[in-house]
Amino acid sequence: MQLQEILYSQGFGTRRVCAGLIQQGHVHVYGPGDDAPAMLCTDAVTEFAEIGLRFRVQGVDWSYHHKAYLMLHKPRGTECSQKPSTYPSIYTLLPSPLRSRPQKAAVQGVQAVGRLDQDTTGLLLLTDDGKFIHRMSSPRHHVPKVYEVRVRHPFDDRQLSRLLAGVVLDDDPDLVRAAACEAVDAHLVRLTLTEGKYHQVKRMLAAVGNRVEALHRSRIGGLSLPGDLAAGQWRWLTASELQAVQVG
């Protein structure tokens, strides 16, 4: 694939912008091997094998990814929206190329797989793979999501039993059940859900007479939020993590 096409596919701008970056000396391409140096390339139509390609654009190192699969440690006080109403958007935490990766859809760039409320923290996935978003979001696939819930009132066995048996939310006649529930201490609950409804955790706790004070998502499928990923930081998913997140 031509180098300008590679940069375009990775979100560095239009083909003309990408060609300009190359011709102006802003792009270096690494040779094969982990220790290979980055070599300046000023010919936009030079062909490279894109799989496994590493390159540097304006001093920042990148690797080629046919599809983007990311994890983000969502901080408190951010919105999972491209057009936030009150708080900063989570997308401002990502570098520009990830927000500009070309897609056939009207919206470009990576998209959040589901949403977390502005005051909820924790593991959030982002991708430009529409099929992956559908598979992870569909209630038919029952992907478990684990939440650490800090509650205002002491959590007791009655509340735990009701969450496991199912509660009725005001807009849904069907019972909504927790897949698993554990009282970590009197005010901390570990709750596992396999579906995602609007403000579901908060409404489920309210239905059993309690109130959510803080909410953190610690796990999706078989993937836990790494302890070394600080709030506001992101990174690419590894192949094993991508597989794990789709396993309950």
Residue-level pLDDT, tens digit, the chain, 248 residues: 999 999 999 999 999 999 999 999 999 999 887 788 999 999 999 999 999 999 999 999 999 999 999 999 999 999 999 999 899 999 999 999 999 999 877 678 999 999 999 999 999 999 999 999 988 987 777 899 999 999 999 999 999 999 999 999 987 788 999 999 999 999 999 999 998 888 999 999 999 999 999 999 999 999 999 999 999 999 999 999 999 998 75
- Cβ contacts of 40 within 8 Å, gap of 6 or more: 25, 27, 28
At 178, is the secondary structure helix, strand, or coil? Answer: coil
CATH fold group of domain 69-139+223-245: Alpha-Beta Plaits (3.30.70)
Secondary-structure class of domain 144-220 per CATH = alpha beta
The reply to whether CATH 3.10.290.10 applies to domain 3-63 is yes
Catalytic residues: 117
User: Comparing 3-63 with 144-220, is the CATH topology the same?
Assistant: no
In this prediction, residue 106 carries a pLDDT of 66
**The pLDDT of residue 248:** 56
Tell me the C-alpha distance between 71 and 191, whole Å: 21
Q: Dig out the tokens for 233 from the structure.
A: 């930081």
* Residue for token pair 């690494």: 30
Contact between 61 and 37 under an 8 Å Cβ cutoff? The reply is no
Listed residue (128, 247, 90, 124) closest to 196, CA to CA: 124
Domain ranges of the chain: 3-63, 69-139+223-245, 144-220
- 10: amino acid identity, one letter: Q
